[in-house]
Amino acid sequence: MSTPNHTASTHSEEENYLTNETTIQSWLLTKDHKRIALLYLISVTLFFTLGGLFASIVRLELLTPAGDLLSSEFYNQAFTSHGVMMVFFFLIPAVPAVLGNFLIPLMVGAKDLAFPKINLLSWYIFMVGATFAIFAVLTGGLDTGWTLYPPYSSTYSQSRVALAVAGVFIAGFASILTGVNFIATIHRMRAPGLTWFRLPLFVWAHYATSLVMVLGTPVIAITMVLLFLERVFGFGFFDPAKGGDPVLFQHLFWFYSHPAVYIMILPAMGVISEIISTFSRQKLFGYSFVAMSSLAIAILGFLVWGHHMFTTSQSAYTGILFSALTFLVAIPSAIKAFNWTATLYKGSVSWETPMLFAFGFMGLFLIGGLTGLFLATMGMDIHLQDTYFVVSHFHYIMVGGGVMGYMGGIHFWWPKITGRMYSNFWSKLSALLIFAGFNFTFFPQFILGYMGMPRRYHSYPEEWQVLNVMSTLGASILAIGYALPAFYLTYSLIRGKKAPANPWGATGLEWKTASPPPPHNFHETPIVTTEAYDYQSLPLSETPEKEGVHHG
């Protein structure tokens, strides 16, 4: 892709960001985007673990039809806590705050993000919001569902709604600050020669995501303020008994929350573009179409919120419009999928661990996208609304897509982040277990939903037990798959083989500096002279065969 005007040195020859000032204070007051990314990594891993524990409790309850493990009240708290932790404190920040923070300055040839102090502030704001939410979960719980629908949430719930709402409101400012930082950096700090259409598609995906963050997050913030005022001070915005309109809340909530789906999935799509190009040794097919499809998804994502509301008082004619727009938003996602497939065609495909996660992403996201068309069809949606079909579709998109992309990115850039390689065997086993366990967990739920099993119930008819047992068994396999990286990635930090600057033979600017990078990323400003993903001009010294990576 590019030729910097310096020679990359190895981490053994110079001080890097991991070893430069290693006191706790230096980390907590750092303005280095790479360290801030690692602070986010530790945080979101904690929240992912907590959300996963609540999911495990839910699946254990559903092993039997009688609802005999948990009370209905605690079951409500378990699935709500799972949803709040995963959506607001893992899925939304995971790829942008961790991988985006670490990589965007490196990919554009900058020393840091445009506003380093604001970047650190965003992490502190995020942690304050998360603290409020965790305190709510652990000191009385939250039983409203992660969507916080009034009037139950605003008037009747006896759980810690106000604290959780405050946490979501505060955490939203972290998203806004991160989005502003990314936009400013991409606009103003690109290296010489790095034109818009030489940018990596990872950067394009984060640019589109940042637009959604900046434009959409204030809407959910205002919504949380109104809900808080109704809950605490008795205002009548949403409760019909006080003259409010609960459907107004749904309009406001989903106007943000459907674009928020793309905050979770667009960055993962950027990760997949990088992985597929690297491990097929091909320039990404239809580069400009893939780049523009990210912007199209971000724009169209603001126009489809009403498909969540087919069974409300929304008119049938409005529903028809939202149905058509929802079918339309599938087109730019399909463009990405077809172009990834075309890139693989006749490519020299390598079955490294990141590529396994990329294939897993493509398979699971395809199922999630196609089943979304069922829910975009008004007649089908009326039958499937609030059933396990919706739960399964949502998880195929968010977990099968978002988390698979995140895991692929962590494994792809782990050598760059840490300067260490990880175990091929255990990482590939993890990818396979996650893929198999995920399908075993959530595919039966499509059938359960079509048969009419409602979500959020802790008891069900006996004829649905076999499918629920399958789902819980799959969740056990999935949990093992997710737990494995915690062990082999931690082990790699201690005993892993030292990583070269470019272990995969990739083309981006981030691979032109040491692993891990020096504190200011580059000793000299890199100069970009080639197109993105130009593997034909890659120097022989940077091919993967030189680094011991086999492609065939």
User: In angstroms, rounded to a whole number, what is the distance separating the alpha carbons of residues 355 and 361?
Assistant: 10
Could you list the pLDDT tens digit for every one of the 552 residues in the chain?
445 444 444 444 468 999 888 899 999 999 999 999 999 999 999 999 999 999 999 999 999 999 899 999 999 999 999 999 999 999 999 999 999 999 999 999 999 999 999 999 999 999 999 999 999 998 989 999 999 999 999 999 999 999 999 999 999 999 999 999 999 999 999 999 999 999 999 999 999 999 999 999 999 999 999 999 999 999 999 999 999 999 999 999 999 999 999 999 999 999 999 999 999 999 999 999 999 999 999 999 999 999 999 999 999 999 999 999 999 999 999 999 999 999 999 888 999 999 999 999 999 999 999 999 999 999 999 999 999 999 999 999 999 999 999 999 999 999 999 999 999 999 999 999 999 999 999 999 999 999 999 999 999 999 999 999 999 999 999 999 999 999 999 999 999 999 999 999 999 999 999 999 999 999 899 999 999 998 877 665 556 644 434 333
Please count the other Cβ atoms lying within 10 Å of the Cβ belonging to residue 318. Answer: 12
Q: What ranges make up the beta strands (E) of 351-424?
A: none
User: In angstroms, rounded to a whole number, what is the distance separating the alpha carbons of residues 266 and 361?
Assistant: 12
Question: Is the Cβ–Cβ distance between 35 and 98 less than 8 Å?
Answer: no
**One-letter amino acid of 528:** V
User: In angstroms, rounded to a whole number, what is the distance separating the alpha carbons of residues 341 and 338?
Assistant: 5
User: In angstroms, rounded to a whole number, what is the distance separating the alpha carbons of residues 394 and 304?
Assistant: 16
pLDDT for res 347? 86
Long-range contacts of 320-326 (CB under 8 A, 24+ apart): 320/378, 323/376, 323/377, 323/378, 325/300, 326/372, 326/373, 326/376
Domain ranges, ordered by start, for the chain: 30-538
Residues in the chain: 552
User: In angstroms, rounded to a whole number, what is the distance separating the alpha carbons of residues 246 and 250?
Assistant: 7
| DSSP calls for 58-120 | HHHHTTSTT--SS-HHHHHHHHHHHHHHHIIIIITTIIIIIIIHHHHHHHHT-SS-S-HHHHH
Question: Is the Cβ–Cβ distance between 445 and 392 less than 8 Å?
Answer: yes
* Residue among 393, 290, 408, 410 nearest 360 (CA): 408
Q: ω before 151 within 30° of 0 (cis)?
A: yes
Fold of the CATH domain 30-538 = Cytochrome C Oxidase; Chain A (1.20.210)
Q: Is the dihedral of CA 189, 191, 193, 194 positive or negative?
A: negative
* Residue among 208, 186, 212, 209 nearest 198 (CA): 186
Q: Can you read off the two tokens belonging to residue 482?
A: 């997710």
